[in-house]
Each structure stands twice: as structure tokens, then as C-alpha cells.
Amino acid sequence: MLRLAIIALFGLIYPITSLAQTAPKGETVLSLVQCDVASEMLNVIEGEFSETNLATGRGVFVIATPEGPKTITGNVRVWVNPDELSFSVTIDNGTLMCMLTSGGGLSPGNTPAMPKQDISL
């Protein structure tokens, strides 16, 4: 029952409103992202973490290459395990899948899951 309530709640709170969004202005930072063959990444997400796909949309991600920045387009997926309150966010092109973020303590809406931390650049 809790599982259905969480899925229904997220469906109501986070409707997809637009594919076109403006990039926020700010600084560019480098981050490390783990990527693997999609089937291997799914073994971890669905098998080890028991997460299921809650939402899917089209998205973009910029990676650094020796030739310079490269924009990757693909499916952005939000995965959740409502029993453990864990989540993952991935982007994939059908072959390669990258884990953009993952964590726990999932809660609906604007409920703060953890105190704000200063991460000034």
C-alpha cells in the first residue's frame, strides 16, 4: 500500500510540464559519473537496489572529451524503491547508461530530507 501511495503521490506532485527548459546561469563544474553497458547498470539498479522505473523523460547531459565538451541526449529515468526509500537517476541512449545521482531518504515534495550544506564553489 505504501508503495502505491508513494508512486501515486510522485505522479501528482511532479507532472511533466515541458521538454524545453532553460539552463540555469552559473559556474560549470566537473563531476565524475559512473557509466556502464545499460544491461549491467540495470542489474545493479533493478537487482541489487530493487528499484523500479518511476518516470522517464528526454534529457541532455554534457561530458568532457579530449576533443572538448560533448552533449549527450537520451532517456532520463528516475528509479525508486518505495520500501527502502532509495532512488537513482540515470541517463541512457539504449546501450550506455550513466548514473547521475542516487541516494536514500526519499520523501515527497518540499520536505527537506537533510539539512542544507554549504557547497560554495
Q: What is the pLDDT of residues 42-62, one digit of tens each?
A: 999 999 999 999 999 999 988
Quote the number of domains for the chain.
Answer: 1
In a domain, 11, yes or no: no
How many Å apart are CA 77 and CA 80, to the nearest integer?
10
Q: Is residue 116 part of a domain?
A: no
Residues 6 or more apart whose CB falls under 8 angstroms from that of 79 comprise: 45, 46, 49, 51, 52, 53, 54, 87, 88, 89, 90
In a domain, 88, yes or no: yes
Residue 87 lies in a domain: yes
Note down the domain range covering 53.
33-102
pLDDT (0 to 100) of residue 110: 72
In a domain, 119, yes or no: no
**pLDDT the model gives residue 58:** 96
Give the Cα separation of 48 and 59 in Å (integer).
Answer: 25
Residue 72 lies in a domain: yes
- In this prediction, residue 80 carries a pLDDT of 97
